[in-house]
Structure 1
Amino acid sequence: MPDGQQSPHDRLVVADTHNDLLMAVSARPPEIWSSFFRDRWLPQLVEGGVDVQVLPVFVDSWFRPEGALRQTLRMIECAHVLAEGNPDAVALCHDGQQIDEALALGRIALVLALESMPGIDESVELVPTLHRLGVRVASIAHWGRTALADGSGQDGTGSRLTSHGVQALREMERLGMLFDISHLGATGVAHVLEIAARPVIATHSSARALRDHHRNLTDEQLRGVAAGGGVVCVNFLAAFLTEDARSATVDHLVDHIEHVASVAGIDHVGLGPDFMREVTEDLTPPCCEGFAYSGIDAGAAIPGLEGPRGLPLVTDGLVKRGFSEEEIQKILGANVMRLFRAELGRPAPEGAGEGQPAR
């Protein structure tokens, strides 16, 4: 890059649809949530050029089932507290207009998400409650079985969404909450794509054609998300990019981005990093050599991409691969921004989705 010339990464909006930093921040005493975020995570987001950050609420297994809802609410409160404590730097946003306003003021736009809804169980009537608290994106399963659906680790069951899972999807569509298919079992994904009345998102899923792992999406699934107007945000986790996770490089990641773009279309691909190593080091130092989670090498990361400060490496990789600036703009954030502007916090039109059976 010639002296004085700004890189594409600095010029363009960058949207990260999956960073579990709330797990690390909420593990601290509430009185330091704001300061810990400012000292530990904010510099990384700024250095990485992050403009829009989706904050998933993930509840570890030891809180389930009794403490799941309490931990869900605690993490949601943590998001509100860190935003209120750093109003010069971040803003918790409920819709596309608020995101645009935050970016215009030079703030990072934060969007609350739920990963697998463990605190809900069959109580789908609580989905509007979570919407009132600011949640705008949600999935309904993780690795295993929930009251709403089976996660991808249970693909052998061939299960579709339960009746409560279908009700949750309908409530989310009614309210303007994006349905996240990442972690959902293969038959569940097919079910969602069959009955969804609004676009869906995969917040952190890579291409199964390049790495045959149940957490990745098949070409058929990629095409299905795109056909509905949704976006697939590629996961950076090394174990999902290549079988030999310890050898993963930026090129492996760009391979997955390129594949999703070629199958789903350049308008339907984004970034969903899932910086597991960085978050885990915050929670359980020292970490993470030999650290395994649900059968994957969770300690393996692409060198330089252990956390958000390395995001410019992705843009550099896309430039070297020959993507145009317009294409890079779409991948880094424009596709996600289009989806967020159209869907977040926007109630469904009267009668939308009616007449579709809860199969």
Structure 2
Amino acid sequence: MLARLTPALLAALTFALGPDAALAASPEATAEAALRAAPVWDGHNDVPEQLRDRRKDVLAGFDFADTTATADPAQKLDAMQTDLKRLRQGRVGAQFWSVYVSAMLDDQHAVQATLEQIDVMKRVIAANPRDMEFVTTAAGAEKAMKAGRIASLLGMEGGHSIGGSLGVLRQIYALGARYMTLTHFKNTAWADSATDAPAHNGLTDFGRDVVREMQRLGMLVDLSHVSAKTMTDALDVAKAPVIFSHSGAEAINGYARNVPDAVLDRLKANDGIIMVNFYPSYVSEPLRQWRANWTGEEARLKALYPGAPDTAKAGLAAWENANPKPVATLGQIADHIDHIVRRIGIAHVGLGGDFDGGSNGVAGMPDVSAYPALFTELARRGYSSADLQKLSNGNILRVLKAAEAYAAAHRGDPPVESPTTF
């Protein structure tokens, strides 16, 4: 009977019976139903970084409607991966925009640069009022998405952005930042990074106070980029759910940026969320191994031919020819999601693509337009529309509401104080 239904009648039947009832056999239809009901809320996008690197935050002449022509071969820059057209194609309904600044900056310059990045992203949002809305709460995000606008929130990537000051943390929260990643690729003075030599054995006492004050305010504690010990220290302190805004499963890819199973187990107990990242070397274990082998071969050849760089270069080219570089795939992203769901359940996973911040080169996920392809793959693997709606925005919405509820319950608590340092 279904084969004789017109497309209009089929759509009406799907609406009447529920998103899965009429077309349960079709992965494409399951994905479409989920994204219609719950557009993607992505945890991490680096458009502000692109604006700083490419344009020094000057927006005159910048058109966010379509950035496909922004490649700059002279600066070895690919075209941007994000614009309004492709966000719509990707069914993105809410986005945490990362106001990342370099971890190489000293404290005061990091604070200044963070303020500038908050400013530039707010100006982008204000320049596109039909498509975007600046929001700071879960209710605001729900309202914006219901109105058909992209709910736009801000997240700081790296604790260096507060310059070692809880006063600065509070003021940046007041400006609208709703998460902070405790470190980036380097340690801060109070927290160890996943990609730096341990200096503090996790969090210092001040670092624990940072976590406490963030949760008192209602700011999400983001454990992407931090060491495993920092993860566990933060979870020891946390009284509200935490997030990983853009990380993967260490069991699928052993890179230090990914999350060990033991920490995933604690994340479930915390009722938090891990938003799966698309950065190729964190997604694909074969690619991670290839990069390590390439680095080793480069070092070996340089050691063998210190006075003949052309010989070393030719030798590395020959090695590359004999050892083709693996390509990360959309299916491997789904593998990370599968592992996390099997380990801790669908209620604790989301998406943090890291587009325009390094997620280049994943086959099947070229830019923000490709989320429907990932949802179709997941539906093909057996995820229901209800599952996919939790993944797309239901889980992060729950976590943000919980953080807000904790802050509301502790509104009368005094701010955590620390002395100034200069």
TM over 0.5: yes
Alignment of 1:156-195 (within 5 A): 156-157=198-199, 159-195=201-237
* Among candidates 161, 164, 167, match of residue 125 of structure 1: 167
Query: Is residue 2:50 matched to residue 1:24?
Result: yes
Amino acid in structure 2 at the alignment position of 1:32: L
Query: Is residue 2:380 matched to residue 1:320?
Result: yes
Shift of 1:220: 0.9
SS at match of 2:365: coil
Q: 1:253 to 1:31 in 2, by over 3 A?
A: closer
- Structure 2 unmatched runs, 5+: 12-28, 68-82, 288-325, 415-422
* Among candidates 337, 341, 347, match of residue 407 of structure 2: 347
Shift of 1:26: 3.6
SS at match of 2:161: coil
SS at match of 2:401: helix
Task: Provide the TM-score with structure 2 as the length reference.
Answer: 0.74
Query: Is residue 2:276 matched to residue 1:250?
Result: no
Q: Distance in 2 between matches of 1:235 and 1:336?
A: 15
Q: 1:343 to 1:230 in 2, by over 3 A?
A: same
Q: 1:143 to 1:305 in 2, by over 3 A?
A: same
Contact 1:238-1:301 within 8 A present in 2 as well: yes
Contact 2:190-2:200 within 8 A present in 1 as well: no
Q: Distance in 1 between matches of 2:359 and 2:413?
A: 42
- Structure 1 unmatched runs, 5+: 281-297, 355-359
Give the equivalent residue in structure 2 for 1:262.
Answer: 342
Query: Is residue 2:406 matched to residue 1:337?
Result: no
Q: Distance in 2 between matches of 1:88 and 1:176?
A: 28
Alignment of 1:105-144 (within 5 A): 105-144=147-186
Q: Distance in 1 between matches of 2:61 and 2:121?
A: 9
Q: 1:33 to 1:188 in 2, by over 3 A?
A: farther
Contact 1:173-1:347 within 8 A present in 2 as well: yes
Q: Distance in 2 between matches of 1:352 and 1:256?
A: 41
Contact 1:25-1:36 within 8 A present in 2 as well: no
Shift of 1:259: 0.6
- Provide, for residues 33-62 of structure 1, a one-character-per-residue CA deviation record: whole Å limited to 9, x for no partner: 694333322112111110010011111245
Q: Distance in 2 between matches of 1:91 and 1:127?
A: 23
Task: Provide the TM-score with structure 1 as the length reference.
Answer: 0.86
Query: Is residue 2:262 matched to residue 1:220?
Result: yes
Shift of 1:84: 1.3
Contact 1:239-1:300 within 8 A present in 2 as well: no
- Provide, for residues 176-226 of structure 1, a one-character-per-residue CA deviation record: whole Å limited to 9, x for no partner: 000001111111111111111111001111000111111000111111111
SS at match of 2:397: helix
Alignment of 1:141-156 (within 5 A): 141-154=183-196, 156=198
Shift of 1:158: 6.7
Shift of 1:144: 1.6
Q: 1:82 to 1:346 in 2, by over 3 A?
A: farther
